[in-house]
A and B are shown apart, each in its own frame.
Chain A
Amino acid sequence: MKEKRAQDPNDPVLPAVEERELVYGGLEAGLGEVFEVPIGPIHPALKEPIRLTFKVRGERIVGVQVRTGFAHRGIEFMGMRQGRNLIQILYLSERICGICSISHPIAFTQAVERAAGIEVPPRAQYIRVIISELERIHSHLLWAGVAAHELGFDTLLHLTWRVREKVLDILEELTGNRINYAIPIFGGVRRDITPDQYPKVREALRYYRGLLNELLDAFLRDPTVEARTRGVGILEPKEAEELCAVGPTARASGLRKDVRQDRPYLAYPDFEVKAITPEDYGLTPMGDVYDKIVVRLLEVGQSIEIIEKALDNMPDGEITSFPKIPALLAHLKKAEGEGLGWHEAPRGEVIHYVRLVSGEESPLVWKVKAPTYSNLMSWYPMFEDQEVADIPIIAACIDPCICCMDRVYLVRDGKEEILTKEELLRLSWEKTRRMAR
């Protein structure tokens, strides 16, 4: 069967027979040619641009290069240099991320409050906690759906996203919006939670509590999901620590690293949050994609508990220490100092640094750190020695806030072949089908 065969144009990934034997045969011996496969800047996982350049030998990945910045909007520059005042910047910070759209304002308001010496009333702190935990529920369910889709398990995607609607409805009820809630303001929050809203939130929490076990079963007891995610995209605890991974990505590797626990902020000490690792589900942490699913789903349960506790113990009183915006702006203009604000977003640690100068409306310095920024480096060990068909799920497993793919260029012998997003997903789905048999 050494006869040279014309390559099937509908199957561009697989090399022609002779070449294939060389590539696969050489795998064990460490031989075979290395090809470069640039993926993106439009990417398969989420709808945001990033370019991953893989070095592959046959079906195995031997190296990866990450290039971001295709959607760099210069938000920090806009805040520092274009004459915006802090309240305008607050709304700008909310638009850094569309999914965790309360995480950045929470970190930013804390940084400014530290710099300007503003106190936050207890009730406002509780409201901020409630909204951020509701956001965590919606973000983790969103991710779980995306993960199911990447595996070719669309029934589970539709199930998860249908379930997710309830929390978006509650966020709309409490804040007026499904996303971009505009809740925190310097010195408090913009809207109160009224007594007639409590039962609605509680009812939603009951709904999720009832569904959580079903969801855990659907994801974790499914043999196909397990086959596609166990042992895939492993991040060792040592690597996670050295590469400064954050959020569920680090926790899935067994690191008990959670900002809400390690250096609590706002009202979080009241809830005694404990970082969740797969050990809490009776598993030994392996740091693979399966463990990342475990951690995220367990955190949905944790968020439910935090919100329930917050509703039970909600303090009375003011929701902001500056009810009048002009007074707030005047105070901020006079303020001088620097401050750090942090928050455990659904994806991990968010941190903002702000320095204010008296007499200026804009901050002198504003630096934003989003969780994906820290998790970027953990892709390097995760992709190592994995299969091309596992790229979508590994790329998605850190829940990146940049991504989405249009097509893949396969560069082979200097010729470019184009693999569309559909084809890459098809590869992933075919693998699922093979394994399910």
Chain B
Amino acid sequence: MKAEQVLNALKTALGENFRNPELRPRPVGVAKKWTVEEIWAEVPREAIPQAVATLKSLGPLHISIISGHDAGEHIELLYHLAVGFGTEGGEVMVTLRTHVPKNDPTVPSICGILPGAETTEREKIEFLGVDFVGIPRRDHVFLPDDLPVHPWRRDEPEVEKFLHRMVEWEKGHEGKESAGS
């Protein structure tokens, strides 16, 4: 599959919702040169399921991970998807970037289209406090169920307090640890 083909399909399906598309060539190989192409683009959160469904119609689709971070005003999520595995150099990496406002941190879930996305969506619920509408299971995968904070949010005062407590604890235990070991 060619990156151009994927790009055009997304453009046609999403229209105005497909913003700032970028093709990033990645030269690989030493004796046998090759270029792997990555697609990076911005998609508003409500168009994410449509974008994923479009990619799925092109060939076997794989979601690597959703990465995300707290960008101050909003939360940024990046969907790292790969479309069309199975042939040599035949897979195209697509990264869809979307912004989620902090006063309404919801995104439509893509589990209905790609069930494999469940673990990574649940992880984002725990770590960033983003809610995925329509996810089949939303209980915690990694963090304790009763943890009141979302550790990757930069506006969490509790995280800073926790780090401070940890530093203090380490200071208090320095002597004891070395004596013990």
User: Which A residues have a C-beta under 8 Å from some C-beta of B?
Assistant: 66-69, 72, 74, 76-77, 80-82, 114, 122, 125-126, 241-246, 255-257, 261-270, 272, 274-275, 313, 315, 340, 342, 349, 351, 353, 355, 364-365, 367, 369, 373-374, 376-377
Contacts and interface: CB of A to CB of B under 8 A. Distances in A.
A406 to B, nearest CB: 19
Contacts of B38: 340
B116 A244 contact: yes
Given A353-B65, A353-B67, A355-B69, 4 more contacts: A245-B116, A268-B28, A367-B68, A369-B65
Nearest to B84: A262
Contacts of A256: 85-87
Interface in B51-106: 60, 62-65, 67-69, 78, 80, 82, 84-93, 95
Interface string B130-151: 0000000000111110000001
Contacts of A264: 28-29, 34, 36, 88-89
A244 B141 contact: no
Contacts of A274: 88
A72 B140 CA distance: 12
A76 B124 CA distance: 13
Contacts of A340: 38, 80, 93, 95
B interface secondary structure, majority: mixed
B64 A349 contact: yes
Please list the 5 inter-chain residue pairs (A to B) with the smallest Cβ-Cβ separation, ordered nearest first: A244-B116, A367-B67, A269-B29, A69-B142, A262-B91
A201 B38 CA distance: 36
A49 to B, nearest CB: 12
Contact of B36 (A74, A265, A270): A265
A384 to B, nearest CB: 14
15 contacts: A69-B143, A72-B143, A80-B152, A114-B26, A126-B30, A256-B86, A262-B86, A263-B36, A264-B88, A270-B32, A275-B86, A365-B67, A365-B69, A373-B65, A373-B119
Contacts of A68: 141-142
Contact of B140 (A69, A241, A255, A364): A69
A270 B142 contact: no
B152 A77 contact: yes
Contact of A364 (B64, B69, B117, B159): B69
B57 to A, nearest CB: 14
A377 B115 contact: yes
A243 B140 contact: no
A349 to B, nearest CB: 7
Contacts of A353: 65, 67, 78, 80
Contacts of B159: 81
B116 A263 contact: no
Contacts of B80: 340, 351, 353
B33 interface: yes
A349 B26 CA distance: 18
A315 B30 contact: yes
Nearest to B119: A376
B36 A257 contact: no
Contacts of B63: 244
A364 B116 CA distance: 27
Contact of A67 (B114, B118, B141, B151): B141
Contacts of B33: 269
A67 to B, nearest CB: 7
B118 A377 contact: yes
Interface string B14-48: 00000000000010111111101010000000000
A366 B33 CA distance: 29
B120 interface: yes
A267 B34 CA distance: 10
A377 B143 contact: no
A241 B60 contact: yes
